[in-house]
Amino acid sequence: MTQPTKIQQIGARIWAALTSLQLTITCLTLLMALVFLCTLAQVEMGTLGAVNTYMRSWFAWWSPRGSTFQIPVFPGGALVGLVLIANLTAAMIKRFTFSWNKAGLWVIHMGLILLVAGEFVAGALQVDNRMIIREGETVNFLESYRDTELVIRDVSDPAFENVFTIPSSRLAKGGALPLPGSPLAIKVVRFYKNAELSALRPEDHAPLANRGVGASVKVTELPGETAENKMNLPGAIIEPVAGNQSYGVWLISTQLGAPQSFVHEGRTYVMSMRIQRQYLPYSLTLKKFRHDVYPGTEIPKNFSSLVQLQNTNQGDNREVLIYMNQPLRYQGRTFYQSGYEGDTITILQVVWSLRSACSSTLAFPCASRWGGGPHHENHQIHPLAGGSTGSGGDRDPGLTPVQGARLRSEYLW
């Protein structure tokens, strides 16, 4: 009888370890420990920070006091979950046969695999945004909960507007960012993930910005926010350039109320930072918002939004009532009634997920949605009258309801 080679022996040991019950118990124990640690960490880090640190990472890291050096001290949920999925799958292949007698074991193992895999698929691919609409307004874009973007608009032509958007995640990498289709580029001098702005005092150091509001503002960098009910207030020091010509160094921040502008070869460019947007090929008009409370209290009983869905490309034009536990599902997105501001503003949570997207589109569009890296697209958008309201939402300055119908060409990094 032929003796197994050393490679075969090593492979057999790895296979035995991968299919062992001890590995299953170890992974489940580690997951319970991670849940416990994540729960404790929410006190200081907030829900989002704790989940990202312990459950959606390969390792949990620790930094010695006063140092930026990080040491992995515990396996993260992503690593433990991946090993558990491999263990359960290998055990099914090795031990189980397809028969009714084994149906219960198959269901239990498949349930565990789907439970663990579903969390990581949702964490990696699910995208949550929001849409804020005031009664009578029409909105055709979504807003991120936490992400921001630099917006540069060429407003020289009253009939046509070029809009360049650069996400803050790209600004954080620094460098020079050319604006497609124009001679301009944006040099990132410095990026602040979270910052506090205050009036510049005589004893303060000279600011990095030398143009606009930033020339008289002190910027204090703050630690990043991790609490779920708080968000960072990012800012950036940027320098618009065209070849060797500089148009000054500017401070851009979500905390600055008014946009700032400069002129290049007779064309006016307006700069601002806002909550990151994603435009849609359709729009929602809020016709009626209803907010009911329990008698004698301010406790919400029910709130609902009657919206008009308009999609000229597909000929859709219909009323939809969105209320608690009755969302609108359309083109891979689900619109939930999430909240409200006052009696006339509705807040819809908009969720894009793999399941909902693939159920309404072909496989190729689903796959193309996952593309990463800096990119830009050139597409026509017809913003309708109005826009988003509420915290983080901003109307495009200077756009009246009549002007709001003008064409926009939007370039995305």
Q: Would residue 179 count as lying in a domain?
A: yes
Q: What is the pLDDT of residues 62-90, one digit of tens each?
A: 888 777 778 898 999 889 988 998 998 88
Q: What is the pLDDT of residues 166-200, one digit of tens each?
A: 999 999 999 999 998 889 999 999 999 999 999 99
Q: Would residue 271 count as lying in a domain?
A: no
Q: Would residue 268 count as lying in a domain?
A: no
Domain count of the chain? Answer: 3
Q: How much is the average pLDDT of 296-318?
A: 88
Q: How confident is the model at residue 399 (pLDDT cuts 50, 70, 90)?
A: very low
Domain co-membership, 236 together with 205 = yes
Phi, psi of 283 (to 5 degrees): -140, 160
Domain co-membership, 404 together with 336 = yes
Among 212, 235, 262, the domain boundary falls at: 262
Domain co-membership, 242 together with 159 = yes
Name which residue leads in pLDDT, 293 or 313: 313
Q: Would residue 61 count as lying in a domain?
A: yes
Q: Would residue 272 count as lying in a domain?
A: no
Residue 405 is predicted with a pLDDT of: 37
Residue 128 is predicted with a pLDDT of: 82
Domain co-membership, 235 together with 305 = no
Domain co-membership, 285 together with 403 = yes
Q: Would residue 227 count as lying in a domain?
A: yes
CB 150 within 8 A of CB 174: no
Residue 361 is predicted with a pLDDT of: 42
Q: How confident is the model at residue 46 (pLDDT cuts 50, 70, 90)?
A: low
Domain co-membership, 107 together with 14 = yes
Q: How much is the average pLDDT of 309-317?
A: 93
Name which residue leads in pLDDT, 34 or 146: 34
Name which residue leads in pLDDT, 194 or 294: 194
pTM reported for the whole predicted model: 0.65
Q: How much is the average pLDDT of 279-287?
A: 95
Q: Would residue 113 count as lying in a domain?
A: yes
119-123, 156-160, 194-198, 380-384: least confident range: 380-384
Domain co-membership, 201 together with 186 = yes
Domain co-membership, 337 together with 192 = no
Q: Could you tell me where the beta strands, DSSP code E, fall in 8-105?
A: 59-62, 71-75
Domain co-membership, 408 together with 281 = yes
> 66 lies in which domain range?
6-125
Domain co-membership, 250 together with 362 = no
Asked whether the predicted pLDDT for residue 103 surpasses 90, the reply is no
Q: How much is the average pLDDT of 127-131?
A: 87
Which residue bears the tokens 């070869």?
265
Name which residue leads in pLDDT, 103 or 164: 164
Q: How confident is the model at residue 408 (pLDDT cuts 50, 70, 90)?
A: low
Residue 342 is predicted with a pLDDT of: 83
Among 262, 295, 317, the domain boundary falls at: 262
Domain co-membership, 113 together with 221 = no
Q: How confident is the model at residue 25 (pLDDT cuts 50, 70, 90)?
A: very high
Name which residue leads in pLDDT, 127 or 198: 198
80-89, 165-174, 214-223, 382-391: least confident range: 382-391
Among 211, 238, 262, the domain boundary falls at: 262
Domain co-membership, 79 together with 30 = yes
Residue 353 is predicted with a pLDDT of: 67
Q: Would residue 54 count as lying in a domain?
A: yes
